[in-house]
């Protein structure tokens, strides 16, 4: 769990043991790795390499946390793969604004495959899905330029919030401007899977038991911060689920 309620410009990773119902560990995320502009968002857990990768939307970069040592590193800062594209977020025929400006959000959606070989990610305000080998992310000898060369464009995606992946390489992606959830196949093409009016800002995705994928629906664009200070929510907060197209492993 990522907790951002700590001291100013800081956060912490909190591990809770669900078997013993006890606190397992806390790793504090502080300056200089966490900056005044940081907005810590989605994360992916790499249990093979004892690491966590956090999308820092505010600085358009990835935070790499070594779970054994607690060492925190920032990588791919303002890379093409993590930066927002200059595209408007239009929902219900209206452009979404934040602080008086059209929303431009960097890296947010992030997930890891079941073999812990690749990290998949992209900008919320972006039309490309990328991936990078975890061994490259964990290689502290690589320069930013060398690391950048390891980033691969995986395929197309919509303006999106959450993603997850199955074991056949289908990356499931929320489409927040289309009230939809789709997937990008290994050939790079994006396809709509579900589209309904009540899927108002589909946010996070997670794989559960029996190959079901669960999605949170939160109407975020109708909240005051993105709606000119007005609460326009309609109470359509929910969790929905759908069957994965292929076998999918819990924990994505």
pLDDT tens, position by position, 179-194: 999 999 999 999 999 9
b vs e for 131-152, b when ≥16 Cβ sit within 10 Å of the residue's Cβ? bbebebbbeeeeeeeebbeebe
Distance (Å) of CA 125 to CA 80, 129, 160, 164: 12, 11, 7, 17
pLDDT at residue 1 tops 90: no
Strand order, beta sheet including 61-66: 40-46, 51-56, 61-66, 72-75
C-alpha dihedral, 250 to 72 to 134 to 55, nearest 10°: 60
* Intra-chain end-to-end CA distance of the chain, in Å: 14
DSSP of 27-70, one letter per residue? Answer: EEE-TTTS-TT--EEEEEEETTTTEEEEEETTTTEEEEEETTT-
From CA 142, how far away is CA 163, in angstroms rounded?
27
Quick one: average pLDDT of 163-170? 97
Quick one: average pLDDT of 32-43? 91
pTM: 0.94
Tell me the β-bridge partners of 102.
97
pLDDT at residue 4 tops 70: no
Whether the ω angle into residue 32 lies within 30 degrees of 0, i.e. cis, is yes
pLDDT tens, position by position, 42-55: 999 999 999 999 99
């Amino acid at each position: 769990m990522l907790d951002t309620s700590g001291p100013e410009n800081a956060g912490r990773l909190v591990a809770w043991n669900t078997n013993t119902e006890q606190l397992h560990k806390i790793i504090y995320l502080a300056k200089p790795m966490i900056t005044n502009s940081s907005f810590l968002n989605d994360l992916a857990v790499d249990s093979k390499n004892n690491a966590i990768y956090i999308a820092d939307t505010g600085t358009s970069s990835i935070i790499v946390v070594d779970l054994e040592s607690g060492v925190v590193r920032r990588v791919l800062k303002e890379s093409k793969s993590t930066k927002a594209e200059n595209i408007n977020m239009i929902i219900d025929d209206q452009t979404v604004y934040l602080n008086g400006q059209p929303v431009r959000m960097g890296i947010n959606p992030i997930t890891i495959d079941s073999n812990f070989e690749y990290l998949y990610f992209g900008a919320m305000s972006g039309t490309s899905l990328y991936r990078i080998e975890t061994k490259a992310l964990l290689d502290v000898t690589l320069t930013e330029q060398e690391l950048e060369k390891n980033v691969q464009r995986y395929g197309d995606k919509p303006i999106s919030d959450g993603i997850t992946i199955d074991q056949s390489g289908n990356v499931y992606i929320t489409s927040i401007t289309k009230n939809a959830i789709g997937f990008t196949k290994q050939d790079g093409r994006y396809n709509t899977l579900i589209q309904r009016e009540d899927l108002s800002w589909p946010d996070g995705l997670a794989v559960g038991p029996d190959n079901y994928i669960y999605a949170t629906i939160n109407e975020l664009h109708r909240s005051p911060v993105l709606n000119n200070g007005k609460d326009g929510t309609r109470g359509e907060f929910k969790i929905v689920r759908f069957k994965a197209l292929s076998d999918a492993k819990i924990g994505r």
